[in-house]
Amino acid sequence: MAKYLITGGSGFIGTHVVQALIAANNDVLNLDSFSPKNPAHIAFWKNVDIRDRSALINAITSFQPQYVIHLAARTDLNGETLSDYSTNSDGVTNLLDALDQVADLQRVIFASSMYVCKPGYSPKSDSDYLPHTVYGESKVLTEKIIKARNPAYTWLIIRPTSIWGPYFGEPYNLFFKIVLSRKYFHLGAKACKKTYGFVTNAVFQITTLVDAPSDAVNSKVFYIGDYEPYDITQWADEIADIANIKIRTVPFFLFRSAAIFGDILKAIGIKFPMTSFRLRNMTTDNIHDLRPIQLLAPVLPVRRVDGSKETIEWLNKEEKGISA
Residue 13: inside a domain: yes
Residue 229: inside a domain: no
The boundaries of the domain holding residue 46 are 3-160
In this predicted structure, what is the pLDDT of residue 323? 54
In this predicted structure, what is the pLDDT of residue 256? 80
Residue 194: inside a domain: no
Residue 297: inside a domain: no
Q: What is the pLDDT along the chain (324 residues), one digit of tens a residue?
A: 899 999 999 999 999 999 999 999 999 999 999 999 999 999 999 999 999 999 999 999 999 999 999 999 999 988 999 999 999 999 999 999 999 999 999 999 999 999 999 988 999 999 999 999 999 999 999 999 999 999 999 999 999 999 999 999 887 898 899 999 998 888 766 668 899 999 999 999 999 999 999 999 999 999 999 999 999 899 999 999 999 999 988 887 787 888 898 899 989 888 887 788 777 777 778 899 999 999 999 999 999 999 999 999 999 998 887 655
Residue 212: inside a domain: no
Most distant CA atoms of the chain, gap in Å = 61
In this predicted structure, what is the pLDDT of residue 188? 67
**Number of domains the chain is built from:** 1
Residue 155: inside a domain: yes
Residue 168: inside a domain: no
Give the domain CATH number at 108.
3.40.50.720
Residue 277: inside a domain: no
In this predicted structure, what is the pLDDT of residue 278? 74
In this predicted structure, what is the pLDDT of residue 8? 98
